[in-house]
Amino acid sequence: MHPPITGIYNILATPFSAGLAVDEASLRRLVEFQLEMGAYGLTILGVLGEAAKMTVDERTRVMKIVLETVAGRVPVIVGTSHPETAQRIALSKAAVAAGALGVMIAPPPMPGCTDDDLIALYAEVAAAMDAPIVVQDFPPVNNVTMTPDMLARLAEQIPNARTLKLEDPPLMEKISAIRARTDQFAVLGGLGGMFLLEELGRGAAGTMTGFAFTEILVAVYQAWQAGDRAQAEAIFDHYLPLIRYENQPVINLTIRKELLYRRGAIATPLLRKPFTPIDAGTHDDLTWVLARVGITEPAKRVLSAEC
């Protein structure tokens, strides 16, 4: 049996140098930073990690550096989405062989696909390796809709595909719809942690997100798990302006890298094209929002789970 994928997983950004090469030193520093902030696990090479902008060789190098730096301290999930079936399977097998707990896969664009087509896609990967598969449900990336009926069938038919990263609003309604159909899925939220409280209230097992202040989400989750709902609500509500501002559509990744840069976790906040830059006003707004929630020294740990 594999350990359950629960808690707060940070989706790791991929740091780039001034010349837009993978910044290996910053990548190692970012891993250590997220572990210091209490991440239960790391997810790499997802949308936030700009995997689609990297070559297969670069993705492999990032994976090896992260797994080497983590050294078994927390589980690592590797994004292995790819439009080609053979490459998707090869990336998945390589990730598990290198020491990843499992892989995360979103279907490629599949116009006119049926539920059977989607189940077959995951079944092919599952047949090639015995490791957990995190099913990524994020329609804006691929224009693929996964219905609760299809997801319930998937979990029942493929034992190692029983974790769902859900980012298809309305999130809480979909969690309840899935749970009404099967008890085989562990559902993890996303979307910057914007709905973490409500997701937990509907039975989510945690979240996978790139929110730059991992320790805040960890504190919320641990208070909730300890049965202290009032404390979880108080922490979440206090930092909600930051959570909300960071996860703005179009520029959320740009903001997250800027915050990680301000926290000293990466050497530059640069992204590879295509991306949308943020203007001077947004930089000023970030400083204002941080001050409003009482973060005057972003590089330091904001709080602990016991606060």
Report if residue 264 sits inside a domain.
no
Domain containing residue 217: CATH number: 3.20.20.70
Report if residue 132 sits inside a domain.
yes
Report if residue 280 sits inside a domain.
no
Q: Which residue, among 180, 119, 179, has the nearest Cα to 146 in the 3D structure?
A: 119
State phi, psi for 189 to the nearest 5 degrees. Answer: -80, -170
Report if residue 103 sits inside a domain.
yes
Q: What is the pLDDT at residue 2?
A: 76
Q: What is the pLDDT at residue 306?
A: 52
Q: What is the pLDDT along the chain (307 residues), one digit of tens a residue?
A: 677 899 999 999 999 999 999 999 999 999 999 999 999 999 999 888 999 999 999 999 999 999 999 999 999 999 999 999 999 999 999 999 999 999 999 999 999 999 999 999 999 999 999 999 999 999 998 999 999 999 999 999 999 999 999 999 999 999 999 999 999 999 999 999 999 999 999 999 999 999 999 999 999 999 999 999 999 999 999 999 999 999 999 999 999 999 999 999 999 999 999 999 999 999 999 999 999 999 999 999 998 655 4
Q: At what angle do helices 280-292 and 229-246 cross, to 10 degrees?
A: 170
169 upstream amide cis, omega within 30 of 0: no
Q: What is the pLDDT at residue 307?
A: 46
Please give the Cα distance from 145 to 143 (Å, whole number).
7
Please give the Cα distance from 163 to 182 (Å, whole number).
12
Report if residue 51 sits inside a domain.
yes
Report if residue 212 sits inside a domain.
yes
Residues 6+ apart with CB under 8 A from 240: none
User: What domain count does the chain have?
Assistant: 1
What is the span of the domain harbouring residue 177?
Answer: 7-237
Q: What is the pTM of this model?
A: 0.95
The amino acid occupying position 1 is: M
Please give the Cα distance from 291 to 250 (Å, whole number).
24
The β-bridge partners of 167 are none
Q: What is the pLDDT at residue 304?
A: 66
DSSP 130-157: -S-EEEEE-HHHH-----HHHHHHHHHH
Report if residue 2 sits inside a domain.
no
Report if residue 303 sits inside a domain.
no
